[in-house]
Amino acid sequence: MNPIDSGMIGSVVGTLVSLVMLLFPKLNVWYASKTADSKKAFMLWVGIGVTVAAGLVSCFNLYAVTTCNTDGFISLLAAFVGYAVGNQSVYRIIPEPQTVKAAKLARQ
């Protein structure tokens, strides 16, 4: 049994995306200035994009991320769920930098 499954990889990617959007200077201010719905949509589309890209890379035999069949599709769904869990949990527990807090106050 492989100790690293698609759900775990998805959660790592989700965690990294959250950390980048929260901690990278200027990018975090841009992201904080968006509405809550815009942020949700952005994170959703990033997750969908990564999941679809992983599937396409596998199906076109560029890199063996998963198999190009029903099991691979289920694996990609598990990766997307892992992405969502990792993304949201990290974003909620990491303290916001002062620049992010200022951008959110300016938006209101």
Return d(Cα 42, Cα 45) in angstroms, integer: 5
Does some domain include residue 1? no
Cα–Cα nearest to 82, from 8, 20, 16:
8
Task: Give residue 20's Cα distance to chain centre.
Answer: 10
Residues 13-72 have pLDDT tens digits of 999 999 999 889 999 899 988 888 999 899 999 999 999 998 898 889 888 888 889 998
User: What is the span of the domain harbouring residue 99?
Assistant: 6-107
Angle at 23 between CA 22 and CA 25, to 5 degrees: 110
Does some domain include residue 101? yes
Does some domain include residue 54? yes
Which DSSP category does 31 fall into? H
Output the pLDDT for position 6: 79
Does some domain include residue 97? yes
Which DSSP category does 33 fall into? T
Find the Cα–Cα–Cα–Cα dihedral 22, 53, 10, 1, rounded to 10°: -160
How many structural domains are present in the chain?
1
Does some domain include residue 31? yes
Does some domain include residue 52? yes
Does some domain include residue 94? yes
pTM confidence score: 0.81
Residues 80-95 have pLDDT tens digits of 999 999 888 887 888 8
Does some domain include residue 19? yes
Find the Cα–Cα–Cα–Cα dihedral 97, 98, 99, 101, rounded to 10°: 90
